[in-house]
Structure 1
Amino acid sequence: MMLDEAEDDHEAAAPLDMLDRYFAAHGWVSERHDDEISATVKGSWTEYELRALWRDEDSVLQFLCFPDVKVAEERRAPIHEALALVNEQLWVGHFELWSSSGVLLYRHAMVVDGDEDGDRAMSLATTELLVETAIDECERFYPVFQFVLWGGKTPREAIAAALIETQGEA
């Protein structure tokens, strides 16, 4: 089952419903509980856990992407520096490190407007942009975190190494 462009033009759905449909259309294993949905996606570097939380009273959808990176206490200072440098590169969302667990994640929140009846709905295009941006940014910056954690590089060296643009063809 794939969601198509025509469906997007005529239908929007509550944010978690649309995410549920989007995940199912891609064949991603997902789980839904109350105001939360999660899915697992295989990227080119690692598996990503996607998680969305809906806060009805504020009409806010918080979208998280976990790139399976856990940072030991002694490596947190250079990772915090790397996070600052990485976040300077982002237009939407940000990376952060949860202090209690050392888990690294990408997070973006958005307000979902309602229609004249007050129903909150999200289009397929918005859903695709939200999910694909999170995955793309995790894919783009995953090497930076690995270079700092395991490659012995400083955060600046890691950014420079990871963001080299290849020109030409091999």
Structure 2
Amino acid sequence: MSLLAGDAPLSNNPLDLFEELAAANDLIHDRSSDCELVVQLTGRWGDYPICAVWQAELGAMYLSCQIDSKVPAARRRAVYELLGLMNERLWLGHFDYGEEEELVMFRHTIPLRGTPGASVEQIEDLVDTALEECERLYPALQMVIWGGQSVRDALNAALMETVGEA
């Protein structure tokens, strides 16, 4: 609901810019419609499909970054706990587990109403944040799902800051 009469949906589609960035960086991407773009990123632990959706009516771009890790039913409670503890450490976005997709995802929405559109820096920051946070979570997720470690031990091991080089 708009408080100002005559507000029109934001017309500068940030997915156009995101698609240009993906092409310029030789990233695999697919633009299925004006309002949806999927870009494949490669990280240290694997490939991460990033789905960006433009909601012109809201003037907002939604982004999700999928972690390729199926969660067995017996480990879902532990994964929910892990995601909750990880979310406490995030400044932007959040992790959740989609039961329908049966996948862990990083999600974030950037509101753009009242702006001329997204900047290159905003899209880069959004993508960098999604990839960085998925890379931080991935080892803890594997330790909890397949390694049988406690949530706290897995999170502490995965988030341990190292100093220096070996």
Give TM-score scaled by structure 2 length. Answer: 0.88
Match of 2:9 in 1: none
C-alpha displacement of 1:146: 0.6
Cα displacement string for residues 111-135 of structure 1 (whole angstroms, at most 9, x for unaligned residues): 11345xxxx5111111110111100
Q: How many residues align?
A: 154
Q: CA RMSD in A?
A: 1.2
Q: Does 1:121 align with 2:117?
A: yes
Match of 2:5 in 1: none
C-alpha displacement of 1:78: 0.4
Which aligned pairs between 1:32-51 and structure 2 lie closer than 5 A? 32-34=31-33, 35-51=35-51
Match of 1:9 in 2: none
Match of 1:67 in 2: 67
Give TM-score scaled by structure 1 length. Answer: 0.86
Q: What letter corresponds to residue 58 of structure 2 in structure 1? A: D
Q: Does 1:98 align with 2:98?
A: yes
Distance in 2, matches of 1:88 and 1:25, equals 35
C-alpha displacement of 1:100: 2.0
C-alpha displacement of 1:14: 2.5
Distance in 1, matches of 2:156 and 2:75, equals 19
- Runs (4+) of structure 1 moved beyond 2 Å? none
Distance in 1, matches of 2:142 and 2:158, equals 10
Distance in 1, matches of 2:102 and 2:76, equals 8
Identity %: 38
Match of 1:144 in 2: 140
C-alpha displacement of 1:101: 3.0
Match of 2:130 in 1: 134
Contact 1:73 1:102 in 2 (8 A): no
Which ranges in structure 1 are unaligned for 5 or more consecutive residues?
1-12
Match of 2:110 in 1: 110
Match of 1:19 in 2: 18
